[in-house]
Structure 1
């Protein structure tokens, strides 16, 4: 099944995958557990919830197979979710990945993510960046100005998480640290080439991991426990005592 724009669906007996030209897999969904965060880095990105456990408004750049949009829609009922996806072919495949239809809490727009973000000043408690294609992260989502816009789009205590894949990690980290005045942590994803970066506004005082997990629905806790712990360990190492 193809949605156009180079995006197509590959099905196996266990998985449904969103692929681009060159057989680059962007999303993998379990056919038997379609609501779970199947790929490790998506769980690590949502470890950002440890720093802001009850977001009221979530922004996502890059729909892909919708794993994180589905998770937030299912497990964070207090949150409104805005998704920017620039590939109409990807959006056309949303039913294949069981992404809910737009409703009062979820809206998916076919827009340029960088341009869209400029109009979102102070809007989000949580911002998730997971936009890449067969060539890696688009240039428009890699500039200093873009990361400045990311910070500006967050509320006073907002948090963002970004998936860095097939790119110049050092350059992205340098720009993020400039934009967020050094409030940035990098988490390596075990067994994968992805790096997840967490950045934030304000001065969070996160609860102990077990307490933070207890505030989430039961079905979400097991998926996020390892990421919460890894982020808390990185936080402890980076925070002066």
Structure 2
């Protein structure tokens, strides 16, 4: 069964082969949900973003910029039961689709705030152990969400050992510029890799001034965490160690 509906000039909702997707311009997939398992992370980039668990296994506060179909907020809400999940989304049309994607109602642990994320974070209203930047529109990554100043404000919003996670398009001609900005802001504590089954590049930046990468310890931690999460965290460690050497696989 295939179904497609235009919601506005920039958003399309599609249903195909048991998967409901939110798309830009009727083509690019922004988010996807398996109807048989709505909390499953159906896309490789979202699975790879959960690699933040290697840096902060048990965050108390998770801040997500960009709602989409809510895959990451839903996953964190279900599988990190001690965490408070806050999502910032500027587009009210996207928020209006929350029940299409079985996104929970707001409660004491889960909330969606309609706001400009730049304003919210730069004015000091954000505090988190993990910040996930996954905000795209039909024209791509908004430039204001990739400035050195914005990255610095994200760093200031993080806890002492917090981590910033960013989803970037691997074909973006400014990819290396963004990574260099992050390295300056986080004093070089930046690691990145290809996402699973995608050209997306996922970047992790640690705010822990005393953090030192130990790949053996990361693999051991990944193995332990896989008992709690249906994620290939060991695969993420291997990808991070290889950097951008992976092809689309």
| TM-score (structure 1 length as normaliser) | 0.88
* 1:21-60 CA distance string (max 9 Å, x none): 2522101111112111111111111101101101000110
Check 1:56–1:154 CA distance in 2 against 1; reply closer, same or farther (3 A cut): same
Q: RMSD across aligned C-alpha pairs, in angstroms? A: 2.2
- Does 1:124 pair with 2:133? no
Q: Is the 8 A contact 1:163 1:197 kept in 2?
A: yes
Match of 2:189 among 183, 187, 203: 183
Check 1:103–1:216 CA distance in 2 against 1; reply closer, same or farther (3 A cut): farther
Unpaired stretches in structure 1, ≥5 consecutive residues: 236-241
Aligned to 1:68: 72
Match of 1:199 among 200, 205, 212: 205
Aligned to 2:180: 174
Match of 1:214 among 206, 224, 246: 224
Q: Is the 8 A contact 1:125 1:154 kept in 2?
A: yes
Aligned to 2:247: none
Distance 2:61 2:233 in 1: 19
- Does 1:94 pair with 2:101? no
Check 1:204–1:221 CA distance in 2 against 1; reply closer, same or farther (3 A cut): farther
Higher relative contact order (CA 8 A, sep 6+): 1
- How many matched pairs? 233
| TM-score (structure 2 length as normaliser) | 0.85
Distance 1:46 1:222 in 2: 8
Unpaired stretches in structure 2, ≥5 consecutive residues: 244-249
How far 1:139 sits from its partner (Å)?
1.2
Distance 1:46 1:106 in 2: 18
Check 1:57–1:175 CA distance in 2 against 1; reply closer, same or farther (3 A cut): same
Q: Is the 8 A contact 1:5 1:87 kept in 2?
A: no
Aligned to 2:246: none
